[in-house]
Amino acid sequence: MRGKKEIYDKLNELNIKFEYYEHPSIPTIELAKIHKKDIDATHCKNVFLRNHKGKKHYFVVLEQSKNVNIRQLELMLKQGKLSFASDKRLTKYLNTKQGAVSPLGLIFDEENNTTLFIDKELEGEQKLSFHPNVDYASLVISYADLIKYIKNKGISYELLDLSL
């Protein structure tokens, strides 16, 4: 299986069942809609942000066709201006690159420096699709197993209404 070994090790350690799929590199939502159309799951968009001082990081998970209203998120969090994290930060905190961002990569955030926000619409979904930190493979797990995975790491998370 292609992807980060540590992710597979953690999934197996926690007895989390997953479906594995390989496909061409799909670093964008537009390509994902083409190459993942036959995968029976809710495909997720994942956004990694930082506050204006770069001291706090925020990871947002939502259904792939939705957009994050960053200005609205700024107002909700009261952390000042938010911006997309740089490639350097993606590597440091998630051990990945643009286009392969996944909440599964949060296990690489050794300091638990990231707050996770999940769109309320995903709560209870039986099948969610994420990259295993590479953009040429996808894993499908349940919402319950995603929560199990992140709780095991001690990652704080919050459900938000992102239908703004």
Q: Give tens-digit pLDDT for 67-83.
A: 888 888 888 888 789 99
Predicted confidence (pLDDT) per residue in 105-154, tens digit: 999 998 888 999 999 999 999 999 999 999 889 999 999 999 999 999 99
Q: Which residue has the tokens 């995975």?
A: 149
Answer yes or no: is pLDDT of 164 > 70.
Answer: no
Residue 103 pLDDT level (bands cut at 50, 70, 90)? very high
Domains of the chain: 5-160 (3.90.960.10)
DSSP state at residue 158: E
Q: Residue written as tokens 């997309």?
A: 84
pLDDT at 115: 92
- If one compares 162 and 85, the residue with the highest pLDDT of the two is 85
Q: Give the list of residues 6+ apart from residue 127 with CB closer than 8 angstroms, or none.
A: 19, 40, 41, 42, 140, 141, 142
pTM of this structure: 0.90
Burial class (CB in 10 A: 0-12, 13-18, 19+), 64: middle
